[in-house]
Amino acid sequence: QGFKDNLHAVFCLAENAVGPRATRPDDIHVLYSGKTVEINNTDAEGRLILADGVAYACKDLGADIILDMATLTGAQGVATGKYHAAVLTNNEEWEKACVKAGRNCGDLVHPLVYCPELHFSEFTSAVADMKNSVADRDNTPSSCAGLFIASHIGFDWPGVWVHIDIAAPVHAGERATGYGVALLLSLFGGASEDPLLNMVSPLGCNGDSPAEDMERDSKRRRLV
């Protein structure tokens, strides 16, 4: 689509096959971020490799905007339903942009509570930097799961982090819906050369002059 910025896609893939090296309760893993994680729930495995993915995007790729998207929690369907994915982000403008992009393209999105100062304590561990699953499953588990991922780039990281939990809207019965493709195209369409995507994207600098277009100093200024 003629994307005009450096764009990387990091696929965080793992096989759930049982074997002699499978993760066990009480294991402690050192993740790519350098942080240690005590395993208290072996079914909360996807977030481990997602945490490595965002840490890689930050440390190795030097990204200043990181968006992770995954079928992360069953609780997402309870929190925002089967038609709206859940968005969690450290940037209010990007939260609004995700909601607007969803309305423009049909891949609907609704915000989750972002409050690490109150919720990240759910992962407290006596033997590691954190556990991999919450202590209280009634305390906004979808938000907490996203915070687990964010903690591996750091809550003081100056860039834009967006987490989209698509667990429920990706399927209808036994069929996949393809949810997420249109959302990403709409969200980032303002940075492409496609006039239709420019029109539906909530991000962009349509009021800038061509000279300003060429001299923008960062992706965040260009897109937000």
| Model confidence at 219: pLDDT above 60 | no
Which tens digit of pLDDT belongs to each residue from 73-132? 999 999 999 999 999 999 999 999 999 999 999 999 999 999 999 999 999 999 999 999
Looking at residues 216-220, what average pLDDT do you find? 48
Which helix (H) or strand (E) is 46 found in, with range?
A: helix 46-59
Which tens digit of pLDDT belongs to each residue from 26-46? 999 999 999 999 999 999 999
Q: CA angle, 168 as apex, 162 and 174 as ends, to 5°?
A: 140
Predicted pLDDT of residue 125: 98
Spatial separation of the C-alpha atoms in residues 196 and 77, rounded to whole Å: 31
User: For residues 63 and 57, is the Cβ–Cβ distance under 8 A?
Assistant: yes
Confidence of residue 10 (pLDDT cuts 50, 70, 90): very high
In this structure, how many other beta carbons lie within 10 angstroms of the beta carbon of residue 173? 6
Burial 177-194 (b: 16+ CB within 10 A, else e): bebbebbbbbbbbbbbee
| Model confidence at 133: pLDDT above 60 | yes
Confidence of residue 204 (pLDDT cuts 50, 70, 90): low
C-alpha 123, offset from chain centre: 18
Please name the amino acid found at residue 157.
W
Q: Taking Cα atoms as reference points, which of 132, 120, 159 lies closest to residue 49?
A: 132
Predicted pLDDT of residue 208: 42
Spatial separation of the C-alpha atoms in residues 58 and 72, rounded to whole Å: 21
Q: Which pTM value belongs to this model?
A: 0.88
Quote the mean pLDDT of the chain: 91
Q: Taking Cα atoms as reference points, which of 26, 72, 65, 27 lies closest to residue 49?
A: 72
What class, spelled out in words, does domain 27-200 have in CATH? alpha beta
* CB hemisphere CA count around 79 (13 angstroms): 27
**Domain spans of the chain?**
27-200
